A and B are shown apart, each in its own frame.
Chain A
């Protein structure tokens, strides 16, 4: 197992280096280069030269890359053009909100998607299978921001069951030791804040989790169907095992392997979907940060934000891979 972990970590290095080069080249591919981007509309030739010198853009490219790498390793993503604030600090402040939302969406997606997929496979080609697969296809076809819109309109604007924007009622005064509001409420023992935070979380999490739910259900179904046809399942049945035991020991164990990978890959969909969902629900995470950056053409923010989320995505998938290796010994040797 240790060898497997080490090998996976080593495989990560070229990906991270490649990613850093990609993002490094990205900002330099701008028309007028990064100096123009930094100055925006205030760019004059004299100012551009000044900025180029200040940021070392007049030095050779490899030197620039090395210092960029050095700063990135220390999680220094530079400053926002529009607010002059440190991008890293802003990410640190906002990222817990995005993680909280993504985790809640994932719990929703996996908690419902896996049982749904298993049941659909067990009822292969019966009405339940048809209905749930048609439903999941519809689920994949709805843009996340439109679903967010609908949920907000129905449950917040019309029915007033749940709050429509933000992470807590604006009037509530609480402390935030972790930045995860649900966790904060538990840590500080504030029952009211807990209920409030959870109520704010429900609609955005359902909106964001629906597409992953549909995908998880479909993959689970395909994977269970695949395993049900395996010889070892037939043998287990032939031995006279009860179908419940066969399901638990043979079918589910093997069928969950591809589902694990899919759940990891979904984290990318969650992170990018979160950006759109957060905008609809005015959720103070990475979404509005990136939206403002797109609007203001604030390239350091876009660069830092996208690089950071990509690293998170890569690390989550590494963890999923390791889990997979842990669950399935065959993977470790190949």
Chain B
């Protein structure tokens, strides 16, 4: 990944790029020597973005907390293997992405996730949407909940890789090349994943999209 792309992931402005990268490298080297304070500083540099990423995938604070911890513990344990071939930010996001992929694979191996109202996170999400729009009448609020539930169900119909690629591109706004690096694959594969995900979502949500057209 280019420096620019790394900084994009780290959320740093390009002007300060060189200084930030140098400081971060120093922190990583100290953390590799077992300096916990340095590792804590690295956590605080990146953890908001990591938490936002896992939150978007799992949608519930409790699960997000678990994945956040798993990602940073894995990073802590594997820090000795980091060889500065990419930026630390990219490496850390790759660890977190893999944790998300593993989680989705585990979910896939379990029984189909319920998407009934009141049984998982997306209903909470839609409550938030409804609360945020006081002009929404009860009928519209109900409709918004239904749409949200259908979107969540459609997203759960994607394979883990398609889901992660789609979340990273559509909701996190990362470029396909960066997504390829995070998922340990090529830009072309990421592009194909995004296309397949879009096709599946279009099929699953076709009736809702047509209803929107009629509105």
Q: Do A and B bind each other?
A: no
